[in-house]
Amino acid sequence: MVEVNNVVSGWMREAGMAVRRDVVGNLVGRYEGAGEKTLVLGSHLDTVRDAGKYDGTLGVMVAIACVQDLHDRGQQLPYALEVVAFADEEGLRFGTTFLGSSVYVGAFEERLLGLEDGDGVTLAEAVRVFGGDPESIVEGDCEGGDLLGYCEVHIEQGPVLEDLDLPVGVVAAINGQSRLGVGFAGEAGHAGTVPMETRRDALCAAGEFVLEVERAARREPGSVATVGKISVLPGASNVIPGEAELSLDLRNPDDAARERLRDNLEAKASEIAASRGCEHRWQVRQETPAVPMDSDLSTLLERAVEESGVPAKRLSSGAGHDAAQVAALAPAAMLLVRCERGISHNPAESVEREDVGAAIEVMRDFISLVSQRVDAGTEPGRMQEGR
Ligand code: GLV
Ligand code: MN
Ligand code: MN
């Protein structure tokens, strides 16, 4: 993060922006305008393990390209543009998502500061080491003044646009998600001497649970559920596993359905543990409800898509995005860019140069449509209640 923040700061400055880093490590580039209001563009710079090149980064780069274009032409808008490159959207290290954007909007939950990474380092400590301030991240750090809105460009990470032969599409809503930590504890023992009948094998309990996760999600329409990580202790070929820890990621466009699946799986984990003489641990690390995008801002974005000669398709996003957090602070909209075979969170992630060009064109038009609204005194944004 230190390295990427340095590199991207340089690009932001070259594009005429004043750059600051906030209390948690989000990079904020500001291109001043003639008025007080601010339109925010952005996405995230962190990524997953064995990732592709475009998830998050593409949105930051498209935003910088739009500002670079204004700067090269010496053009000032009737409002300021801020490009925010969020930190830790993916949540790999602490099993939670949206760290940077939740701090940005003032919605960070203090209880998360005590979460530990795989090495036992707390989130509070990690923020401190990175140069941030764990006490003040709870306050939030948005200095944008009156926000007109937030617009994020992101690769689709799914196959819909490719199937429809469209370079870009507009997000209707972002699906809700739950992130959990689940643990099974049995008893470690000698692999050669303990009879099968008397074992309390934590990994066997976890294995049974993983297959139950798959079965249960298939039964619940619209649901997807993933165990992406599992660790086994003590972790030796001749020792019966005494402990197994796994991650659980649940998504659904319908919050009630997601909560139902979560609760059923908790009951199942307890049942499996009991049937094997094991204990189980169930830790809800994060709950994010489904978030509809702002209809006014999305209509403006659709107009920009149509003006570029592309039919405007609205689709829901199965992936989580920083826009889901920023929507609590300001009207939010998202533009998705077609990606090859819908593959993402994989080094094979790929986008076409022409599609990126199409996204930049749409965003430039969107920026000027917002300018027209500001000039006419009918700007889309307003500070929302509850910040
Ligand atoms: C973010 O990439 C997510 O997991 O949806
Ligand atoms: Mn991602
Ligand atoms: Mn992403």
Any residues with CB less than 8 A from the CB of 135 and at least 6 apart, and which?
none
pTM of this prediction exceeds 0.85: yes
* Residue reference for tokens 């199965």: 318
Q: Which atom of ligand 1 is nearest to the CA of 157?
A: 2
Contact 205, 276 (CB under 8 A): yes
Q: What does the pLDDT read at residue 382?
A: 53
Cα-Cα-Cα-Cα dihedral of 266, 267, 269, 273, to 10°? 140
Is residue 319 in contact with ligand 1, taking CB distance under 6 Å? Answer: yes
Tens digit of pLDDT for each residue in 147-199?
999 999 999 999 999 999 999 999 999 999 999 999 999 999 999 999 999 99
Do the strands 239-240 and 314-317 form a parallel or antiparallel pair, or are they unpaired?
A: unpaired
Angle 114-117-119 from CA coordinates, rounded to 5°: 120
pLDDT of the residue at 385: 40
H/E element, 100 = helix 99-104
| Mean pLDDT across 319-348 | 96
Convert the pLDDT of each residue in 72-108 to its tens digit: 999 999 999 999 999 999 999 998 899 999 999 999 9
Read off the tokens for 382.
């307003």
Long-range CB contacts (within 8 A, 24+) of 308-311: 308/358, 308/361, 308/362, 308/365, 310/166, 310/167, 310/168, 310/358, 310/362, 311/166
Residue 192 CA, ligand 3 centroid: distance in Å: 46
Q: 182 and 248 in contact (C-beta within 8 Å)?
A: yes
Tell the residue number behind the tokens 């990126």, with chain if given: 356
> Cα(249) to centroid of ligand 2, in Å?
13
Q: Count Cβ neighbours within 10 Å for each residue of 126-156 and write b for 16 or more, e otherwise.
A: bbeeeebebeebbebbbebeebbbbbbbbbb
- Closest ligand, as measured to the CA of 250: 1
C-alpha of residue 344 to centroid of ligand 1, in Å: 10
